């Protein structure tokens, strides 16, 4: 029945769109992270490189100072992560319901419910990485956090020490990007499979 498939299609659409948006944000972040990480991995760490106006550290500092003090950008990122978690959780239930209709069609070895259990757990892991590892590295940039949580009213100034070990942030961002792309691919594969099941005579 189409009504049985609609919740799953809605969940797939939510995850595909929001994962795409998160991936785009990660790409922009990595554009600024990559030169910093490359400098550190080459042995030119933040305490040895001579900082100048066009230094990758200066560029990254200006970028993160701008976006992390923008409420719209912060809420958009957190909203996207919440959406993909919610979408994958809905797909978990919807996938189980669809799979029960005809296990032969929807897969015995790798049923839809299992696919979305894996996606949901992956998103939980990625959210944990972002909340508990990456966000703490953002705190020095967040003026409101510094003011109201740490009671530091001093204006934000460039400090190269903020980027110490930033190559690890870059590594985690690559992992998050790969996870989002994997989820998008998985969603597209499931949508193709559902269309085949609904219209068995139509080849995609």
The structure tokens listed for 158 are 């460039």
* The pLDDT value given to residue 48: 46
Answer with the residue of higher pLDDT: 80 or 21.
21
Q: What is the pLDDT of residue 6?
A: 72
Percent of the chain with pLDDT over 90: 19
Tell me the pLDDT tens digit for each residue of 161-195. 889 999 999 999 999 999 889 888 888 887 787 77
Could you give the CA distance from residue 185 to residue 111 in angstroms, rounded to a whole number? Answer: 16
Q: What is the pTM of this model?
A: 0.80
Average pLDDT over residues 48-67: 76
- Residue 31 has what pLDDT? 95
Query: What is the per-residue pLDDT across 71-126, written as a single tens digit (0 to 9) for each?
Result: 777 677 777 777 777 777 776 766 666 666 655 555 555 566 677 777 778 888 88
Does residue 70 or residue 27 have the better pLDDT? 27
Q: Which of 167, 188, 198, 202 is nearest to 4 (CA)?
A: 198
Helix (H) or strand (E) holding 37: helix 2-41
Candidates 155, 134, 137, 158; CA nearest to 146 is 155
Rounded CA-CA distance 135/150 in Å is: 15
Q: 52 or 16, which is more confident?
A: 16
Q: At 2, is the pLDDT very low, low, confident or very high (cuts 50, 70, 90)?
A: low
CA distance 71 to 69: 6
Give SS3 for 111: coil
pLDDT at residue number 3:
59
**Residue 173 confidence (pLDDT):** 94
Q: What is the reported pLDDT for 42?
A: 83
Helix, strand, coil tally for the chain in percent (to 5): 80, 0, 20
- For residue 108, which phi and psi values (nearest 5 degrees)? -90, -40
pLDDT of residue 169: 95
191 or 198, greater pLDDT: 191
Tokens, residue 67: 């976006």
The more confidently predicted of residues 89 and 49 is: 89
Residue owning tokens 């956090």:
145
pLDDT of residue 33: 95
| pLDDT of 130 higher than 60 | yes
Question: Residue 56: CB partners within 8 Å, gap ≥ 6?
Answer: 32, 35, 36, 39
User: CB within 8 A of 4, min separation 6: which ones?
Assistant: 97, 98, 101
Closest CA to 15 of 182, 155, 163, 143: 182
E strand or H helix that includes residue 162: none
């Amino acid at each position: 029945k189409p009504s049985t498939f609609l919740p799953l299609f809605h969940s797939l659409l939510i995850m595909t769109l929001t994962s795409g948006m998160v991936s785009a944000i990660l790409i922009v972040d990595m554009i600024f992270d990559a030169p910093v990480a490359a400098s550190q991995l080459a042995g030119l760490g933040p305490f040895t490189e001579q900082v100048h106006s066009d230094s990758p550290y200066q560029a990254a500092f200006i970028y993160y100072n701008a976006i992390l003090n923008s409420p719209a950008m912060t809420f958009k990122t957190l909203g996207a992560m919440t959406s993909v978690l919610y979408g994958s959780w809905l797909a978990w239930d919807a996938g189980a319901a669809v799979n029960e209709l005809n296990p032969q069609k929807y897969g015995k070895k790798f049923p839809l419910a299992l696919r979305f259990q894996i996606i949901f757990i992956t998103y939980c892991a990625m959210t944990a990485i972002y909340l508990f590892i990456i966000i703490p590295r953002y705190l020095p940039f967040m003026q409101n956090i510094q003011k109201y949580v740490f009671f530091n009213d001093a204006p934000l100034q460039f400090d190269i020490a903020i980027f110490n070990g930033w190559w690890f942030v870059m590594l985690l961002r690559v992992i998050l990007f790969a996870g989002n792309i994997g989820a998008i691919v998985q969603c597209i594969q499931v949508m193709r499979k559902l269309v085949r099941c609904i219209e068995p005579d139509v080849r995609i």
